[in-house]
Amino acid sequence: MTQSRSPYLRFGLLVAAFAFILDQVAKWVIIVPLGLEAKRVIELVPIFNLTWAENCGISLSMFASCTDTTRWTLVAVTALVAGLVAVWMSREQAKGDVVALALILGGALGNIVDRVRHGFVVDYADLHFGDFRPFMIFNVADACITIGVLLLVARALLLGEKTPPADKSAASH
């Protein structure tokens, strides 16, 4: 049985492109006009700073190693995951899941570009309450990936697996 193409694929690709562009524009603003790398920290409000962080690892800076081997391995693994997400998105029939997958795809592509260009992912968003930080320093791509995953989980838990209605003609025989 072949899976039909998602009726929401074009919309999903637009959402992924928007997430990717938003991430790259935000990073450009952080790096070029604001020059955050040299300043290291810019306090915006008492609970939110722009803080320069070079993430050589994956989520939560796990497996952080700034070697070329790690860099290109993470590029390859992230590209593979992004490819699988794109295939899933192209076949997904639920619009909500397409949006979630598109956010994940756009965020993954944004972080891949960083690794290729810089050798690390540029992180800068630093939410804190005094010394308590509920999140690691993150970026728009990370937020898109997290929101996408949470949407998929919430939809799976709240909507559950819908069984298709029984074929009435088969039931009458």
Known catalytic residues are 123, 142
Cα–Cα distances in Å, from 54 out to 4, 10, 35, 113?
A: 41, 33, 14, 14
Contact between 15 and 90 under an 8 Å Cβ cutoff? The reply is: no
- Do β-strands 121-127 and 41-45 pair in parallel, antiparallel, or remain unpaired? unpaired
Closest CA to 71 of 84, 88, 54: 54
Q: Which residues face 51 on adjacent strands?
A: 41
Contact between 112 and 141 under an 8 Å Cβ cutoff? The reply is: no
> For helices 95-118 and 140-159, what crossing angle results, to 10°?
150
- DSSP secondary structure string for all residues of 41-66: EEEEETTEEEEEEEE-SSGGGTT---
Q: Indicate the residue type of 26.
A: A
